[in-house]
Structure 1
Amino acid sequence: MAAEVITTDDLREFKIELLEDLKRLLKEHSGQPTKKWLKSYEVRKLLGISPGTLQNLRVNGTLPFTKIGGVIYYDYADIQSMLQSNKFQNRLR
């Protein structure tokens, strides 16, 4: 069995490549969940809202949802769309 020698230059190059890959992955996701469908507790945590507030968003049609069995799922794109459509810009005069 042949032994392969790893030099400090090899390790340095590996470190640089690894850091570049990690930066690329973080930039692609930019803190967003990687899942398309989120459960209620995940949405509450993401938005920092109570179960009652989430229920109100469902009931008044602000946030679309899908219910399968007893589990409610929310599309991450719908959450982003809801936030974008309710966005206000404060203009100072």
Structure 2
Amino acid sequence: MTAIELITKDDLKNFKSELLTEIKAMLKPSEGESKRWLKSSEVKKLLSISPGTLQNLRINGTLRYTKMGGILYYKSEDIQKIMEDNLR
């Protein structure tokens, strides 16, 4: 005879919570490592630029981007390159 194990709603909630915590930890960049993709708001803050300036950088091809689900993403390496190219 096999034993039957019951799973309660609380068990499922705990599992969900633990799973989400583990996934977030895996997706979070480790210390000293930057995020690979940045959103527009992060780029504007990093470069201290306005939305219009960011749009101009996209239009003139200075800054590459990808669009997913209505959100624009930029590679952190491209942002770093722009910052280094404009060192004075």
TM-score tier, shorter chain, comes to 0.5 to 0.7
Stretches (4+) displaced over 3 A: none
Q: Shift of residue 68 of structure 1?
A: 1.1
Larger Rg belongs to: 1
- The answer to whether structure 1 residue 51 and structure 2 residue 51 are counterparts is yes
CA distance in 2 between counterparts of 1:34 and 1:82 reads 16
- Equivalent in the alignment of 1:87: 87
Residues 28-52 of structure 1: CA deviation (Å, up to 9, x unaligned): x2xxx73110000000011111000
What letter matches 2:74 in structure 1?
A: Y
What letter matches 1:66 in structure 2?
A: T
Identity of aligned residues (%): 59
Q: Give the total of aligned pairs.
A: 58
Cα RMSD for the two superposed structures: 1.6
CA distance in 1 between counterparts of 2:49 and 2:81 reads 17
Q: Shift of residue 81 of structure 1?
A: 1.2
What secondary structure is seen at the aligned counterpart in 2 of 1:38?
strand
**What's the TM-score once normalised by structure 1's chain length?**
0.56
Unaligned runs of 5+ in 2: 1-30
What secondary structure is seen at the aligned counterpart in 2 of 1:80?
helix
Unaligned runs of 5+ in 1: 1-24, 89-93
What secondary structure is seen at the aligned counterpart in 1 of 2:61?
coil
**What's the TM-score once normalised by structure 2's chain length?**
0.58
